[in-house]
């Protein structure tokens, strides 16, 4: 492969990695500690009712946080929210 082609691939790879790091930093700055806490519990498969009970808040408040999480991560469901949260390093993979 010619050197310019290799250099072009390297630049694209590094650019993609820089963009991923920027997205992770933005997501971390945009999400609150409570939202990350709820995201972890979503990853464990807890319902909004169970999360509310565990955190001592209302189910409506949990659903409000979940809506904020969806918007901030650009997703439409719990599975994608957890997957994106893990990809961005906001949460660890559920055990």
- pLDDT tens-digit profile of 24-66? 556 656 789 999 999 999 999 999 999 999 999 999 999 999 9
pLDDT for residue 79? 95
Fold of 3-87: Arc Repressor Mutant, subunit A (1.10.10)
pTM over 0.85: no
User: What's the mean pLDDT when you consider all of the chain?
Assistant: 84
Residue boundaries of the structural domains of the chain: 3-87
- Assign 92 a pLDDT band (cuts: 50, 70, 90): confident
Query: Which one has a higher pLDDT value, 51 or 1?
Result: 51
CA distances from 80 to 1, 4, 5, 39, 56 (A): 38, 37, 35, 11, 25
pLDDT for residue 12? 73
Distance CA 49, CA 66 (A): 12
Cα 58-64-66 angle, rounded to 5 deg? 105
pLDDT for residue 39? 96
Distance CA 25, CA 72 (A): 12
């Amino acid at each position: 492969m010619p050197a310019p082609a290799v250099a072009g691939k390297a630049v694209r790879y590094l650019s993609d990695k820089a963009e991923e790091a920027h997205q992770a930093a933005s997501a971390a700055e945009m999400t609150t500690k409570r939202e990350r806490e709820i995201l972890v519990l979503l990853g464990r498969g807890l319902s909004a009712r169970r999360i509310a009970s565990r955190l001592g808040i209302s189910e409506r408040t949990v659903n409000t946080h979940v809506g904020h999480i969806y918007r901030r991560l650009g997703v439409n469901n719990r599975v994608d929210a957890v997957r994106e949260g893990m990809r961005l390093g906001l949460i660890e993979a559920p055990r």
